[in-house]
Chains A and B, each alone.
Chain A
């Protein structure tokens, strides 16, 4: 069964450093998402991406965050200058839909990248 994959599984970085988290969504999906989950808390939406642009973002997704689909398979989340409070699990998700048409709401999640900022 197709699945969302994420690399690395665990990333440790120093405060102020840039990190790039990588995701390979399910191949025929058109909508891509990033969520994060601080330890012991609920999953929170960061951003959605469709047709090579951000379609929605939360207040968490400030200027230090950016997303990119650099090729036909990868979807990345960049944190420009990490802070201690960025430590969390970051989940990529994808969902299917027809370009410009209806889509399913079912979002499939990857296994996550645990980001630790020291």
Chain B
């Protein structure tokens, strides 16, 4: 089945630093979504991308839908302590209802 390769698996950064993470797939996706999950809670949508090449920002977050439709990245600028959590990419292929999730990137921000 489809798989998303998300990297890195974890990052430890200082407050104020920028962080980048990405997801790649061998399959073409029609939609890329980025979610954040805090411990014991559900995924919270950060950014949704619908078109190849699309670049979208949400505050300090910026995400792009890769031109090949097989990858996406998420950048967080000027990190703050509340950015701590697990970040998941998720994608949907044409003709399918389901979201396929990456394994997540655990972010730790040192104040």
- Please classify how large the interface on chain A is, using the bins under 10, 10 to 19, 20 to 34, 35 or more: 20 to 34
A56 to B100, CA, bound (A): 13
Across-interface contacts of A58 in B (CB, < 8 A)? 98
Q: A49-65 toward B: CB 8 Å interface, digit per residue (1/0)?
A: 01000011010000000
The minimal Cβ–Cβ distance linking A14 to chain B, given in whole angstroms, is 23
Across-interface contacts of B97 in A (CB, < 8 A)? 31, 33, 48, 50, 55-56
A105, CB-defined interface residue at 8 Å: yes
The minimal Cβ–Cβ distance linking B25 to chain A, given in whole angstroms, is 13
Across-interface contacts of B35 in A (CB, < 8 A)? 109
Across-interface contacts of B96 in A (CB, < 8 A)? 56
A91 to B97, CA, bound (A): 16
- Total interface residues on B, CB under 8 Å, equals 24
Known pairs A106-B48, A109-B42; A45 contacts B33 (CB<8 A): no
Across-interface contacts of A104 in B (CB, < 8 A)? 48
A109 to B48, CA, bound (A): 14
Across-interface contacts of B40 in A (CB, < 8 A)? 112, 114
Q: Which 7 A-B pairs have CB atoms at the shortest separation, nearest pair first?
A: A45-B98, A48-B97, A109-B42, A105-B31, A56-B97, A43-B101, A111-B42
